[in-house]
């Protein structure tokens, strides 16, 4: 097994540990979850670059890399929906999951026709922005709950009610845009007569 595939497997392996520390309740658990999520995100940035640079692209990597990304991001967002301390409803999560199902379906149709649907710039931007948003939310949880910093009520209110929801909705908007671009680019694969 080559290095990019090992990095992808490491990302998959880190997801249960991320969830474990998100749900445990002790001082510092959000910090540990943040470190794990950041490490998993770094493997996402590295595996594809290494695979392309050293011609190590494999079918295993093509299959597992996007799956690992989706499970990592959806795991974090699902936990955020459950937390009272994160002002995020289920609607952004539902939109993000629906987009992932749609793109996966398009990839299946394309593969059936011998076409590979590569990640476009909007898809990469969506992934990067969403991961940065998740890291930001985790960092905020660390500051609020793992460290006693005496944050002002105004700052807490602004973060909880304006900044974090805005970042999540920007991620959701990028998700919609990238999904529509995939749909437009591969619309010819969806034929109601077939």
pLDDT in tens, 30-51: 999 999 999 999 998 898 889 8
Reported confidence tier of residue 193, pLDDT bands at 50, 70, 90? low
Kindly give the interhelix angle for 164-185 and 90-112, rounded to the nearest 10 degrees.
Answer: 20
- 28's CB contacts (< 8 A; 6+ apart) are 146
Q: DSSP of 120-140, one letter per residue?
A: -HHHHHHHHHHHHHHHHHHHH
As a whole number, mean pLDDT of residues 128-137 equals: 94
Give the pTM. 0.89
Q: For the chain, which domains are there? A: 3-189 (1.20.120.1760)
Compute the half-sphere exposure of residue 107: CA atoms within 13 Å on the CB side of its CA: 15
pLDDT tens for each residue of 72-121: 999 999 999 998 878 888 999 999 999 999 988 888 888 777 776 777 88
**Residue 28 DSSP class:** T
């Amino acid at each position: 097994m080559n290095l990019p595939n090992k990095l992808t497997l490491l990302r998959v392996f880190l997801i249960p540990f991320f969830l474990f520390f998100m749900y445990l309740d002790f001082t510092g658990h959000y910090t540990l979850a943040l470190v794990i999520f950041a490490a998993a995100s770094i493997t996402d940035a590295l595996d594809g670059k290494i695979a392309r640079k050293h011609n190590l692209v494999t079918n295993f990597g093509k299959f597992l890399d996007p799956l690992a990304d989706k499970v990592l991001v959806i795991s974090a967002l699902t936990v955020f929906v459950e937390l009272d301390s994160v002002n995020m409803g289920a609607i952004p999560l539902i939109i993000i999951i629906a987009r992932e199902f749609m793109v996966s379906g398009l990839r299946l149709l394309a593969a059936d026709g011998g076409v590979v649907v590569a990640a476009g710039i909007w898809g990469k931007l969506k992934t990067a922005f969403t991961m940065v948003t998740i890291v930001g939310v985790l960092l905020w949880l660390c500051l609020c709950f793992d460290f006693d910093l005496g944050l002002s009520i105004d700052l807490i209110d602004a973060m909880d009610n304006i900044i974090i929801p805005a970042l999540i909705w920007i991620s959701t908007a990028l998700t919609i845009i990238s999904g529509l671009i995939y749909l437009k680019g591969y619309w010819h694969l969806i034929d109601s007569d077939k």
